[in-house]
């Protein structure tokens, strides 16, 4: 298993009547064959998207979750939210079935945008994704870069 699986790019796909999507070839090329044969983990994201993890990506999430204190009420609450993932497998045609409840919570209908986010894969309703991207406040992005990255945000490689 590759512990460094990274996923990038934007891919348009269509949800079929049974709640299945085909993982795009461009995305599958980024995931080692051994991980495509394994179980993926899927969970509702913090925004209006669903998050899909390869096994190596999920292992890093689990390592983080394991450090949360179970004896702290807020820690347990956070852990419960973070571990609300469902294992799913690719079928023989290379599709995954997205649970109906997750589709509803994320307002996903037919046209989907899959966005590789390095350490996870976001699955959006295409319209919601476009609205989210168009609504990004560039001044807010600059403010966050300064706050989180400090003077590193001046590095031309970081935009």
The low-confidence residues of the chain, meaning pLDDT below 70, are 1-3, 33-37, 151-159
- What's the confidence (pLDDT) of residue 134? 87
- What's the confidence (pLDDT) of residue 155? 61
- What's the confidence (pLDDT) of residue 12? 96
**Burial level of 156, CB count in 10 A (0-12/13-18/19+)?**
exposed
- What's the confidence (pLDDT) of residue 36? 67
- All structural domains of the chain, each given as residue ranges with its CATH number in brackets, are 7-133 (3.40.1550.20)
40-72 pLDDT, tens digit per residue, is: 999 987 778 999 998 888 888 889 888 988 888
Q: CA geometry: angle at 116 spanning 114 and 117, to 5°?
A: 130
């Amino acid at each position: 298993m590759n512990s460094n699986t990274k996923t990038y790019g934007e891919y348009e796909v269509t949800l079929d009547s049974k709640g299945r999507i085909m993982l795009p070839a461009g995305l599958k090329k980024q995931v080692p064959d051994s991980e495509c044969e394994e179980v993926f983990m899927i969970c509702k994201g913090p925004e209006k998207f669903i998050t899909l993890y390869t096994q190596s990506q999920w292992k890093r999430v689990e390592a983080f979750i394991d450090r949360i204190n179970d004896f702290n009420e807020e820690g347990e609450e956070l852990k419960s939210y973070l571990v609300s993932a469902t294992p799913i497998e690719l079928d023989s045609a290379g599709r995954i079935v997205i649970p109906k409840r997750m589709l509803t919570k994320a307002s996903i209908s037919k046209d989907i945008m899959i966005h590789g986010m390095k350490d996870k894969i976001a699955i959006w309703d295409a319209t919601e994704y476009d609205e989210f991207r168009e609504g990004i406040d560039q001044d807010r992005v600059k403010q966050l870069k300064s706050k989180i990255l400090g003077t590193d945000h001046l590095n031309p490689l970081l935009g």
